[in-house]
A and B are shown apart, each in its own frame.
Chain A
Amino acid sequence: MKTVFVTVGTTSFDELIEAIISPAAVEVLKDRGYERLVLQVGRGTVFPTSKTCSHITLETFRYKDSIAEDIKNAHLIISHAGAGSCLEALSAGKPLLVVVNDKLMNNHQLELAKQLHSDSHLLYCTCSTLTATLRTMNLSILQPFLLGQPQNFANFLDKALGVK
């Protein structure tokens, strides 16, 4: 089943959860062939069940020790702008749509999401533009994300410290 995985990390992001289970958004997801929606809601107060949202196969949880499986099984990831969540999704090579929480002030995590967006590694929107973005998004423009190279750090340090 084509699956969308929504993650908010350790935060609370009720607006995103409400936006993604809204009838308009769910309809767009189904039009695009997604049949299953998995929601990781963290500290949020909104906890949808199949009763509250019956139009799509739904699974909701707060936290897991590791979301690697959920990421692996997803065809699209919708995430808050947290660096850990973004990097985990990108390292798994999954298309990523980041939803910015404009209620958070001085959110320095936005810097990374903005940069990755300008490098075409992810798509970017707000809760109010979520449905429109899902309708019109073109995932084929996304560039693969290559992990950083710690070996460059090691080589530099070995040389600088005289390590053989």
Chain B
Amino acid sequence: MLALETVVVTLVFLFLLFCLRLYVVLKSGAKYKPGSKGSVSVLVAVGSGGHTTEILRLLGSLSSAYSPRYYVLAQTDRMSEDKIHAFESSREQGDSEFSVFRIPRSREVHQSWSSSVLSTVNALCYSVPLVFRLKPDLILCNGPGTCVPLCLVGLLLGVLGLKQVVLVYVESLCRVQSLSLTGRILYPLTHYFFVQWAALRDKYPKAIFLGRIV
């Protein structure tokens, strides 16, 4: 039984080490200033419909220092790519360094819990090589399920000491009284979490409230 005990102890040790690393990554990410090196590469998690409109409004306000921009969409999203291209062409000349990637959708609307876990794990498997390759300075997301695997892998990059990634989440304007499911999952796991209505700021003290920003 010695071998089994060794395995269990090792696993517990690794788990505790992981938790410690995660804590360090969350704390240090809030102080990390990637802007001091000049440019900040951004991975943008793109949902569909209103989410796309909102995230492009946010990106529209960011300066050319936020470049290159890596857009990650769900495979089944038909409309967002056109909106992204239109947005990028409207930016100033010389400031259109961007690429578009696709991963499986984490969850369809009304999808059951049990199958959502499976599809999120599937999306995670695609997210790992993508985010590991891109190593963005910043991950920006605003609610669709696509955010979750991307943010988790961003944190993993930090935990493994490969890259410090700042996670920024902006809850949708539609969320006035309650957070979305993605919001509730990512609230403890992001460095900057924005809400757009005062009721949410009161409920979620860690959240940043600047009023309506989209």
Binding site for B on A (CB under 8 A): 83-84, 87, 108-109, 111-112, 114-115, 147-154, 156-158, 160-164
Contacts and interface: CB of A to CB of B under 8 A. Distances in A.
Interface string B175-214: 1111010000000000010101100000000001011111
Contacts of A115: 176, 197
Contacts of B197: 115
Contact of B168 (A149, A157, A164): A157
B176 A84 contact: no
Interface in B21-55: 32-36, 40, 49-50, 53
**Closest 6 A-B residue pairs measured CB to CB?**
A162-B33, A163-B35, A148-B212, A150-B61, A162-B35, A154-B61
6 contacts: A84-B50, A111-B177, A111-B178, A115-B197, A148-B173, A161-B34
B57 A148 contact: yes
Nearest to A114: B176
A122 to B, nearest CB: 14
B175 A108 contact: yes
Contacts, number: 84
Given A83-B172, A115-B176, A150-B214, 12 more contacts: A84-B49, A108-B175, A108-B178, A150-B213, A152-B213, A153-B170, A154-B62, A154-B63, A156-B208, A158-B65, A161-B33, A161-B40
Nearest to B38: A164
A112 B138 contact: no
A156 B174 contact: no
Contacts of B214: 148, 150
A108 B53 CA distance: 18
B210 A112 contact: no
A126 B194 CA distance: 32
A114 B172 CA distance: 15
A162 B34 contact: yes
Contact of B194 (A87, A108, A153, A163): A153
B130 to A, nearest CB: 22
A84 B53 contact: yes
